[in-house]
């Protein structure tokens, strides 16, 4: 596909990569934590045990995270020929310890490089079958080597280590700030495209071995649906429609298991009043989780993830609890009693929308 | 109108399927025929066939990621939106498509 490089295109490629990366993180993280649960902290000193096998397999899987991300960013840009060089640039990024950031930049550059070759270099028809099978991957691979060893590798060298150190030495204030920004992003659209900016950073840091932001993510992602559910089902029934009251029950359940999307029905009905509450609630929750040192080796699960996380008690309980209480309180203050303004809302929506039909 | 649509979001577990529901709901209400293929994390479901494409007046791609097998829609009018548009304002979306298609014909 020939295309301009726009922010939307960049974000689509990133999200395509992330969508393939998530199951890898989930599998690797959970295998590692099973290993730790069975074998304890000294799991690596017990070769041959099941715990050791689980843990090392989990580590191996986590090493695949950045390559998969890079490969599928490249795949999104230039289709199948991008996968091989994308994987390579990702593996090189991991080897050079510039993990996540290197993988993303590498994935984009390799993808666009391969797309350029694909779209601009014309060859004899006899050679054509070789293009996707050999020439583009090989050229992309050489480009990946150049990137990682000369162009972006050296400037980024030590970046990952610096990030790890930064998180280790971060003071209480900056921890809180980081966590609350993460939570705030999640609260804006219930872990939709905007929230994904924050959660992708947390997932990436986790792939680089920093588990704090992921812990904050687990906590703050639970807050919006829990708060909206509790508010609509128990505390402020008059402020919600009948449909919302039904959605509220499932929102509580979804919230417990960290499916932030459970809050979506509420946000869609009344974005201007719901968003500030969820942003502040999730923000406080994320901040507190960082301050209390909640860490998670898994990306999803909510209360199901608690057993494999560290700093859960009291940290995660406080973070989630306070976040929910604050959000519920704000909802009680800000939400209005339900009126029939459906029609007006639909009209307004139609005006914002501007579509384009490609023929 | 006969519509075929593909929905796909980043995680592929929630927004994808909400978008499908909303589009189907809106289309039924407005008297259109629609088939929505979901490209979730689980893979493609309710897959759009060649016949569906031939009969369709318009293709809606409601996705935050690049969808699979876009080539099969070649030659059809395509409308691209983010998943959230299909979720938030499905009726306005279909209405606008209808108007713009009419203007073209």
- Cα-Cα-Cα-Cα torsion A24, A26, A31, A36, nearest 10 degrees, comes to 130
Kindly list the structural domains of chain B, giving each domain's residue range(s) and its CATH number in brackets, ordered by start.
Answer: 2-104 (3.40.50.2300)
Instruction: Name the strand (E) or helix (H) holding A26.
Output: helix A7-39
Predicted local distance difference test score (pLDDT) of residue A23? 86
Per-residue pLDDT, averaged over A317-344, amounts to 85
Q: Contact A349/B89, CB-based, under 8 Å?
A: yes
Q: How does pLDDT run across A284-303, given as a tens digit for each residue?
A: 999 999 999 999 988 878 88
With bands split at pLDDT 50, 70 and 90, how would you rate the model's confidence at B91?
very high
**C-alpha span between A293 and A279 (Å, rounded):** 21
Task: Considering only the beta carbons, identify the residue of A15, A22, A350 that sits closest to B92.
Answer: A350
Per-residue pLDDT, averaged over A1-10, amounts to 73
pLDDT at B55 exceeding the cut of 50 = yes
Q: How does pLDDT run across A101-148, given as a tens digit for each residue?
A: 889 999 999 999 999 999 898 888 888 888 888 999 999 999 999 999
Strand pairing category for B43-45 and B33-40: antiparallel
Say which residues have a Cβ less than 8 Å from residue A196's Cβ, sequence separation at least 6.
Answer: A15, A18, B10
With bands split at pLDDT 50, 70 and 90, how would you rate the model's confidence at A206?
confident
Per-residue pLDDT, averaged over A81-99, amounts to 91
Q: How does pLDDT run across A136-157, given as a tens digit for each residue?
A: 999 999 999 999 999 888 888 7
**C-alpha span between A45 and A149 (Å, rounded):** 34
**C-alpha span between B35 and A113 (Å, rounded):** 37
Per-residue pLDDT, averaged over A240-269, amounts to 86
Interface pTM (ipTM) of the complex?
0.80
With bands split at pLDDT 50, 70 and 90, how would you rate the model's confidence at A25?
confident
Mean pLDDT over the full length of chain A: 87
Instruction: Name the strand (E) or helix (H) holding A91.
Output: helix A83-95
3-class DSSP string for chain B: CEEEEEEECCCCCCHHHHHHHHHHHHHHHHCCEEEEEEEECCEEECCCCHHHHHHCCEEEEEECCCCCCHHHHCCCCEEEECHHHHHHCHHHHHHHHHHHHHHHC
> How near does any CA of chain B get to the CA of A317, in Å?
26
> How near does any CA of chain B get to the CA of A46, in Å?
36
Q: What residues are paired with B34 via a beta bridge?
A: B3
Task: Considering only the beta carbons, identify the residue of A12, A196, A268 that sits closest to B88.
Answer: A268
Q: Contact B96/A192, CB-based, under 8 Å?
A: no
Hey, where are the domains in chain A? 7-157, 162-346
Where helices occur in A190-316 by DSSP H, the ranges are: 193-207, 212-230, 242-256, 264-269, 271-291
**C-alpha span between A186 and A198 (Å, rounded):** 7
With bands split at pLDDT 50, 70 and 90, how would you rate the model's confidence at A226?
very high
**C-alpha span between B48 and B35 (Å, rounded):** 7
pLDDT at A69 exceeding the cut of 50 = yes
**C-alpha span between A228 and A278 (Å, rounded):** 8
Q: What residues are paired with B2 via a beta bridge?
A: B33
Q: How does pLDDT run across A170-189, given as a tens digit for each residue?
A: 888 899 999 999 999 999 98
Predicted local distance difference test score (pLDDT) of residue A315? 93
> How near does any CA of chain A get to the CA of B4, in Å?
14
With bands split at pLDDT 50, 70 and 90, how would you rate the model's confidence at A196?
confident
With bands split at pLDDT 50, 70 and 90, how would you rate the model's confidence at A259?
confident
Predicted local distance difference test score (pLDDT) of residue A349? 52
Q: Contact A193/B64, CB-based, under 8 Å?
A: yes
Q: Contact A357/B79, CB-based, under 8 Å?
A: yes
């Amino acid at each position: 596909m020939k295309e301009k490089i726009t922010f939307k295109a960049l974000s689509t490629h990133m999200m395509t990569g992330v969508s393939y990366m998530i199951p890898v993180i989930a599998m690797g993280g959970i295998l590692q934590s099973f290993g730790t649960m069975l074998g304890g902290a000294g799991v690596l000193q017990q070769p041959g045990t099941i715990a050791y096998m689980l843990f090392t397999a989990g580590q191996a899987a986590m090493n695949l995270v950045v390559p998969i991300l890079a490969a599928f960013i490249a795949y999104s840009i230039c289709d199948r020929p991008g996968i091989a060089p994308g994987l390579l640039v990702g593996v090189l990024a991991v080897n050079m310890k510039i993990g996540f950031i290197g993988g993303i930049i590498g994935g984009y550059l390799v993808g666009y490089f391969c797309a350029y070759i694909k779209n601009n270099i014309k060859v004899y028809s006899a050679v054509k079958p070789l293009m996707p099978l050999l020439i583009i991957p090989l050229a992309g691979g050489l480009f990946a080597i150049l990137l990682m060893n000369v162009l972006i590798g050296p400037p980024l060298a030590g970046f990952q280590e610096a990030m790890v150190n930064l998180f280790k030495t971060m003071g209480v204030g900056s921890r809180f700030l980081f966590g609350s920004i993460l939570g705030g992003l999640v609260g804006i659209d219930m872990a939709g495209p905007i929230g994904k900016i924050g959660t992708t950073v947390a997932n990436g840091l986790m792939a680089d071995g920093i588990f704090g932001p992921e812990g904050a993510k687990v906590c703050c992602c639970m807050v919006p649906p829990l708060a909206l559910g509790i508010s609509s089902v128990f505390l402020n029934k008059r402020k919600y429609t009948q449909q919302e009251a039904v959605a509220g029950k499932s929102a509580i359940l979804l919230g417990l298991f960290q499916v932030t999307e459970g809050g979506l029905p509420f946000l869609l009905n009344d974005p201007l009043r719901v968003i500030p509450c969820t942003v502040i609630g999730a923000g406080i929750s994320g901040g507190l989780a960082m301050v209390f040192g909640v860490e998670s080796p898994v990306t999803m699960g909510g209360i199901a993830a608690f057993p494999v996380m560290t700093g859960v008690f009291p940290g995660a309980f406080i973070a989630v609890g306070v976040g929910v209480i604050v959000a519920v309180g704000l909802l009680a203050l800000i939400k209005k009693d339900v009126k029939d303004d459906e029609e007006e809302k639909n009209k307004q929506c139609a005006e914002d929308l501007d579509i384009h039909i490609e023929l | 109108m006969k519509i075929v649509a593909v929905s796909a979001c980043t995680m592929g577990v929630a927004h994808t399927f909400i978008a499908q529901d909303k589009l189907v709901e809106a289309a039924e209400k407005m008297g259109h025929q629609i088939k929505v293929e979901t490209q979730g994390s689980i893979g493609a479901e309710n897959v759009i066939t060649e016949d569906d494409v031939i009969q369709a007046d318009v293709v809606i791609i409601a996705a935050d990621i690049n969808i699979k097998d876009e080539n099969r829609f070649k030659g059809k009018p395509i409308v691209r939106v983010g998943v959230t548009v299909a979720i938030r304002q499905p009726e306005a979306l279909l209405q606008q498509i209808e108007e713009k298609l009419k203007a073209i014909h």
